[in-house]
Chain A
Amino acid sequence: MTGWHLDDDTLRRYVDRADSLAEGASAEQHLLSCEPCRTRVNAAASVIELSVIDLAAVWDRTRDSIEVPRPLVFERLLRGAGLPAHEARLVAVASAFRGVWLAGVAAVLAFAALAAALGHTRGLWLFLAVAPVVPCLVVASSYDPRMDPALEPELVTPYPALRLILLRTIAVLALALPAVLLLGLVIPTEAPLAWLLPAVGFVTVVLAASTWISPLHAAIAVSLAWLGVVWLLAARSGSPQAVLQARVQAGFLALAAASFVIFLVRRRRLHQLRPWRWRW
C-alpha cells in the first residue's frame, strides 16, 4: 500500500507474459498487496479473456459444486460402512429413501398392523397380504426411471449394472425390512416372521422379471398374484397359520433361489431396464 503502482507498460507486459522473471516477480509481489493494481490486472485480463480462461464458466462450475447439498444421513451412513463415496451416492439417490416415500410405506404398514391388532384373524390376513409385498414394491419403485430421474443416466454409465442393482436392493431392504419387522412384532402371534421369506421371494422375482418387463409392472403383478392367493386361502377359510408351514416357507425359499438364478443368468439385460409405460 505504497504510493508506487505498476505502470501501464509493466502491467501490459505482465499480462502478455512478455516480461522477464525479475520484473514479473516484482509485479506479482506488488499485486499481492495492492488492490487497485489487481483491479487493473483483472480489467486487462478480461480484455484478453478469450485467450485466457472463461472465468464465468469457472464461476458457474464453482457455484454448482458448492451448492450440492450435503450428503444425506443415509449416504454418510453407507460411507461409514465402507462403501466408496460414488457408490454411496448411487445407492442413496434411490427415491425410496425420500422421506415422503418412507412415510407412505410406514402408513400402509401401520394400517395393516393396526388391523391385525384389532381383529385377530381378519387383521392377520390383512397383514399377511400387505407386508410381504411392500419390500418388492419399494425395490421396484426405486428402479423406476419415472420415480427416479437419476436412474437413466446411471444405467447408461459404464458401471456394472448388476452391482448397482444389488447394492441398491440391499440398501432398500435394509431400510424397509426393519420397519416391517418392527410393526410385525406388534401382532401377537408367531406370524411376525411369516412374511419374511415371501418378501425375499417376491423381491427376487421382481428382479428376475425386470430383465423382461418394467420392475414396477413386475411388482404390481406379483402383488396382485399374492393378494389373489391370500384371498383364495382366506375364502377357503384356511387358517393364516397355513403360510407358516415349513413346506410353504421352503417353497418361498425355492422361489427366491430360482428367481435369483434367472436374474444372474439374464443380468446383461439389466441395462435396458424398462420404464413404466401404460402399454406392456
Chain B
Amino acid sequence: MDSGPGDETLLAAVAERDMAAFRTLYDRHAGWLAIRLTRRCNDRDLVADAIGDTFVAVWQKPQGFRGEGDIAAWLWGIAIRRLVSRLRTRGSAAAVFEKAEAAPAAEDQVLLSVEYGDIGQALARLSPEMRAVIQAVVLDGLSAREAAQLLHVPVSSVKTRLYRAKAHLRAALAEGSS
C-alpha cells in the first residue's frame, strides 16, 4: 500500500525546493485534509483556501516540522489553524456546525456501543453546540480562543459550553456505570 518515499523524505526534498516531491505530498494529504476540514466548516471555498494556505506554509517553512510525531498530524495542526484564520479575516459567519446528523440506524447504534461503549452514547446525547466545542478543543487541540473563532461564538461561551459538556459526560458516564 505504501509506495514511494515516506513523508519525511518528501518533506526533506521540499526543503530542497523539489516541486515533484511537493506535488506528491499534496496528493497524499490534500484529500483527507479536505474531508476533515469540511467536517469543521461547511463553506467549501473557505476550506479550499485553507488547504491552499496550508501547503503554501509547508512550502515556505518545511523545517517547521521538527520530526516529532506524524507529518499528517503536523499538517492537520497547520490546516485547522489556517481555517480559523481564514474564518477570522473573512469576518462573516460561516456555517460551521456539522450537518444535522441523521439519527443513527439501530445497527449502527449497537455497533457504537460495542465499539465505544458508554462514551459514544454520552457524546451522542450532547447538543450540537457542545459537540462542536468538544470537537474543537478536545479533539482538534485548539485553544479556547481559536475554537471561539472557528465556531463564531465568544470565548466565554466556549469555556462555559466546554465546562457543561464535561459535566454532562461525567454525569452520563457515572449514570451508565452505576
Residues of A in contact with B (beta carbons under 8 Å apart)? 13-15, 17-18, 20-26, 28-29, 31-33, 35-36, 38-39, 41-43, 45-46, 52-55, 57-59, 61-63, 65-66
The distance from the CB of B38 to the nearest CB of chain A, in whole angstroms, is 6
Answer yes or no: B65 CB below 8 A from chain A CBs. Answer: no
CA distance A14 to B56 in the complex (A): 27
Q: Report how many residues on chain B are interfacial, defined by Cβ distance under 8 Å.
A: 48
In the complex, are the beta carbons of B99 and A17 less than 8 A apart? Answer: yes
Q: Would B30 and A20 count as touching, CB distance under 8 A?
A: no
Q: Let me know if B135 and A62 touch, CB within 8 A.
A: no
Q: Are A18 and B51 in contact (CB under 8 A)?
A: no
A45 to B36, CA, bound (A): 10
Interchain nearest-CB distance for B53 vs A (Å): 9
Q: Which single member of B51, B102, B115, B131 contacts A58 (CB below 8 Å)?
A: B51
Contact of A53 among B27, B34, B135 (CB under 8 A): B34
Residue of B at shortest CB range from A29? B139
Query: Cβ of A41 and Cβ of B116 under 8 Å apart?
Result: no
CB contacts (< 8 Å) of A61 on chain B: these are: 52
Given A20-B101, A23-B112, A52-B38, 14 more contacts at CB 8 Å? Answer: A13-B108, A21-B124, A22-B124, A28-B36, A31-B72, A35-B1, A36-B1, A43-B31, A45-B31, A45-B32, A46-B31, A58-B48, A61-B52, A66-B60
Mind listing 8 A-B residue pairs with CB under 8 Å?
A20-B108, A23-B112, A26-B116, A42-B28, A42-B32, A46-B31, A55-B30, A58-B48
Whether A23 and B115, one on each chain, are in contact in the complex, defined by CB atoms closer than 8 angstroms, is yes
The reply to whether B123 and A21 form a contact with Cβ atoms under 8 Å apart is yes
Residue of A nearest to B36 (CB): A28
The residues of A that contact B98 with a CB separation of less than 8 Å are 17, 21
